[in-house]
Amino acid sequence: MHPRTQQQQKAQKIPKTFNENSKMLLPNFETWKDFLLRNPDRLAYDEKADCIQNLIDIEESAVNNFRLLSENKALVCISKSQMGKNLQLTFFHSIKKPAILSTESEYFALTGFSSRASAVRLDPKDLFKLSTKKFNFPSFEQLMLIKSEEDIKQLAPTNTMDDGKLEHHALLPPLLFEELLDLEDLRPHSVLLSILNRIRSLKDERSSPAKPQISSANKPKN
């Protein structure tokens, strides 16, 4: 079956009520990007970024983790796309309760940040799975030296992870994911570079000396 045909069939299975409910918020926002960046919870998410990382307990059931994520509609989750090798950015995670003739809940999210977003079906077990392979990974210091895709290719990881605990998803606070909302290239290397550039810019902002504030009483007279 042609990939486009498969994608169309998946889109047809998205419940109509999910699409209708997800559009209800847009009268207050011009785009879904606006919804994410101007959301009332944004400041709290940025101030408690460590809590975001601890929101998902990988030892808990995948279904329970998805429920917690569904309670935070304005959080963006990065995971591997269901089609191809690119990454996908999802938000507004939602659960459709079982119907009378069904025994299982269904799990969805939105993707796309313009005035229209697409609904995608997700499998919690795939979203929150762990790597089972032993592999090497770079230190944070090594990552911060990366400035190009060539640097990534030349990277020589120094740390070893052998307990199979690498998560296949990442939750980002708004101060990090806002850099990704206009990104068209969602290859892993491109997303990594974008996040690293954002971290560097935040670090520079915080290390720059604050400009002294001049009160109206002390302003020089012309």
Q: Where along the chain do its domains lie?
A: 3-127, 135-205
CA of 27: how far to CAs of 31, 71, 80, 119, 214, in Å?
A: 9, 21, 31, 18, 40
- Please name the amino acid found at residue 194: S
Mean residue pLDDT of the chain comes to 79
- Which pLDDT belongs to residue 70? 93
Q: How many CB atoms lie within 10 A of CB 49?
A: 14
Is the entire prediction scored with pTM above 0.85?
no
**Confidence band for 34, pLDDT divided at 50, 70 and 90:** very high
CB 71, CB 41: distance < 8 Å: no
Look at residue 211 and tell me whether its pLDDT is greater than 60: no
- Please name the amino acid found at residue 155: L
Residue pLDDT, tens place only, 71-110: 999 999 999 887 778 999 999 999 988 767 667 889 999 9
